[in-house]
Amino acid sequence: MTDYSQQHRGHSYYEANARQRIAHLLDPESFAELLGPADRLTSPHLEPLGQPCAFDDGIVIGRGRLDGRPVLVASQEGGFMGGAVGEVHGAKLTGLLELAQSEKPAGVILMLESGGVRLHEANAGLIAISEIIRALLTVREAGIPVLGLIGGAYGCFGGMGIVARCCDSLIINEEGRLGLSGPDVIETTMGVEEFDASDRALVWRTVGGKHRYMLGEVQCLVEDDIAAFRAAVIKNISMPIPLTLEALEQEQLHLTRRLQDFGQCQDGIDVWQSMGIEAPAMLPLLNIRDFLESVAAQAKANYED
Amino acid sequence: MKIEPLLNELFPAGHSVSVRAGLLSGYGSAGPGQVAVLGTTDHLAVSAEVALELACFVLNVVREKPGVAILMLVDTQGQKLSKADELLGLNGYLAHLVKCLDLASRRGHRLITLVYDEAVSGGFLSFGLMADDIHALADAQIRVMNLPAMARITKLPLETLQELSVKSPSFAPGVDNFYKLGGVLSIWRPPLADHLEAALKRQTCGDHRRDDGMERMGRKLAARVSRLVVDAKPKTG
């Protein structure tokens, strides 16, 4: 076994695939996949529709070590059907979360990249996401932290956007996007006047990593480097956040205030301005270090109340 | 079914459920005792505000009525599709509602769902799907997306989808399909109060949907795959 060292730096999370992310995030050579491609557990619903299948159904799960501690990890493959959740894909993730309940690892790491329910098996996918949510919250109830990582090309949307916000904490890069309905879905259904999905800058100001960090929806904003994600996971994994009545009452207050304060806003810039950021239009242009420095006070306020 | 007659049929002994701007909240008297009722009507889309209102009621029930069963009545067209709601982090609001219901369940509140009209994707996920036992009226609609929209997005011919929807319960809308997949435990027909009473008395044991789906041959892999993961032994050495 080798140490996680300098040679692991410089791998873009955004550009890596599901397996590369795991390989660079965990301690070297520590990953053991469960139900890998050799097991040929593929979706039975795609072939009848003339669609190609993947031998892992678009998700990699298994055991590994992080900084020497045992973890369970899942990584969704955006390159296969946008990481969408079907029957087998969902059952692998639910199974991993149930394994965590008996095995009690130091934490569960979910690398989320998904458009949500896979339409080709929509009903099975919807129920599967509900099963993932319930299994995830049972893991948290056991005091095992669940961390979500977001930063791939497909973002984290649909039901998986809800799953993400059920995690103890979230780590995102600037390229990462997190939401419920994707901009394309809103534009297609409600019209381009409601949301112009082709306006990439507007999309990032609405669902992108920096805005999610400003709101307190994610706890860590990091550079697009898997080593940076790893460092943030190590920092957060020892801090499970109990879901008590008091904690949820706090969240109720926090979300109510957010709705009151920013409910009329139509653009991230409006939100940041209301927060008291001096030059809100400049935020998208800043690199991560300067961005974090310039918004530190606001982000701290959002995170703490 | 309209909400007022539904409430009267469910609670012949009376109820105090208020219906306001598509939101339902209050209490009803059922056979075994008091039941907290929450939900939506008029196909209400679940926005950040709606999720907060429902969550607020759940937290009140947890605080003030320990152990009282919670009945969720579902009629939603799904999540609110709006840029302003996405800007606020709508997924986080729905997740908050989910976490509040999960807390209630852990504190001993039975969660029961009745889909009485329409249940669609994100809106359904945020509350109705959190119950151990999910029931539906026979003429209710449950779906992620209708077939024409699905055909457009997947770029598959509508005829192919219609043809396959006869054979596979996995993607075509419908209560029967969700029943086969284990997503609906039972289908209610009048008298509804009897069904509610039986549902309240039923012993439950967590999330049984994969096993139901397997038994009904609608979802043949979910239970097996998750079991294989749970049983996977670590490599020795």
Of all residues in chain A, the percent with pLDDT exceeding 70 is 95
A172 touches chain B (CB under 8 A): no
Asked if the structure places residue B235 within a domain, the reply is no
CA distance A14 to A30: 22
Minimal CA separation from B137 to chain A, in Å: 18
Q: Quick check: B82 and A194 CB within 8 A? A: yes
Q: Which residues contact A246 (CB under 8 A, 6 or more apart)?
A: none
Asked if the structure places residue A143 within a domain, the reply is yes
Report the pLDDT value the prediction gives residue A155, as an integer from 0 to 100. Answer: 98
Q: Are the CB atoms for A180 and B81 separated by under 8 Å?
A: no
Q: Which residue has the higher pLDDT, B153 or A44?
A: A44
Chain A residue numbers with beta carbons less than 8 Å from the beta carbon of B96 are: 165, 248, 251-252, 255
Asked if the structure places residue B130 within a domain, the reply is yes
CATH classification of the domain holding A73: 3.90.226.10
Q: How confident is the model at residue B171 (pLDDT cuts 50, 70, 90)?
A: confident
Asked if the structure places residue A262 within a domain, the reply is no
Minimal CA separation from B73 to chain A, in Å: 17
Report the pLDDT value the prediction gives residue B172, as an integer from 0 to 100. Answer: 87
Report the pLDDT value the prediction gives residue B144, as an integer from 0 to 100. Answer: 92
Residue B134: closest CA among chain A residues belongs to which residue? A127
Asked if the structure places residue A71 within a domain, the reply is yes
- Which region, left, alpha or beta, applies to residue B34 given φ > 0 means left and ψ of -120 to 50 means alpha? beta
**Nearest by CB: A206 against B52, B87, B235:** B87
Cis ω before B157 (30° cut-off from 0): no
Owning domain of residue B131: 3-138+189-205
Asked if the structure places residue B107 within a domain, the reply is yes
Minimal CA separation from B174 to chain A, in Å: 9
Long-range Cβ contacts of A269-278 (<8 Å, 24+ apart): A269/A205, A271/A211, A271/A214, A271/A215, A271/B87, A272/A211, A272/A214, A272/A298, A275/A214, A275/A302
Report the pLDDT value the prediction gives residue A8, as an integer from 0 to 100. Answer: 62
Residues A248-295: tens digit of each pLDDT:
999 999 999 999 999 999 999 999 999 999 899 999 999 999 999 988
Asked if the structure places residue A111 within a domain, the reply is yes
**Nearest by CB: B229 against A34, A248, A259:** A34
pLDDT of A304 higher than 90: no
CA distance B141 to B58: 25
Q: Which residue has the higher pLDDT, A247 or B235?
A: A247
Asked if the structure places residue B153 within a domain, the reply is no
Average pLDDT over residues A60-64: 98
Task: Tell me the whole-structure pTM to 2 decimals.
Answer: 0.97
Range of weakest confidence among A220-224, A233-237, B153-157, B224-228: B153-157
CA distance A234 to A27: 11
Asked if the structure places residue A277 within a domain, the reply is no
pLDDT of B182 higher than 80: yes
A119 touches chain B (CB under 8 A): yes
Average pLDDT over residues B112-116: 98
Asked if the structure places residue B105 within a domain, the reply is yes
Is residue A191 helix, strand or coil? Answer: coil
Report the pLDDT value the prediction gives residue A305, as an integer from 0 to 100. Answer: 47
Q: Quick check: B48 and A255 CB within 8 A? A: yes
CA distance A218 to A12: 20
pLDDT of A169 higher than 50: yes
Q: Which residues contact A273 (CB under 8 A, 6 or more apart)?
A: A280
Report the run of H or E that residue B28 belongs to, with start and end: strand B23-30
Q: Quick check: A90 and B126 CB within 8 A? A: no
pLDDT of A6 higher than 70: no
Asked if the structure places residue B159 within a domain, the reply is no
How many domains are there within chain A? 1
Average pLDDT over residues B44-66: 98
**Mean pLDDT rounded to a whole number for chain A:** 94
pLDDT of A48 higher than 90: no
The DSSP annotation for A117-161 comes to B-GGGHHHHHHHHHHHHHHHHHHHHTT--EEEEE-STT-B-THHH
CATH classification of the domain holding B23: 3.90.226.10
ipTM value for the complex: 0.97
Q: Quick check: B232 and A92 CB within 8 A? A: no
Report the pLDDT value the prediction gives residue B153, as an integer from 0 to 100. Answer: 81
Range of weakest confidence among A260-269, B26-35, B71-80, B175-184: B26-35
Report the pLDDT value the prediction gives residue A4, as an integer from 0 to 100. Answer: 66
Of all residues in chain B, the percent with pLDDT exceeding 90 is 84
Residue A255: closest CA among chain B residues belongs to which residue? B93
How many residues belong to chain A? Answer: 305
Residues A189-245: tens digit of each pLDDT:
899 999 999 999 999 999 999 999 999 999 999 999 999 999 999 999 998 999 999
Owning domain of residue A52: 4-178+218-243
Q: Quick check: B122 and A268 CB within 8 A? A: no
A60 is written with which tokens?
């990699």
Average pLDDT over residues A96-122: 97
Report the pLDDT value the prediction gives residue B167, as an integer from 0 to 100. Answer: 84
pLDDT of A142 higher than 60: yes
A230 touches chain B (CB under 8 A): no
Q: How confident is the model at residue A1 (pLDDT cuts 50, 70, 90)?
A: very low
How many domains are there within chain B? 1
Chain B residue numbers with beta carbons less than 8 Å from the beta carbon of A98 are: 226, 229-230
Asked if the structure places residue A119 within a domain, the reply is yes
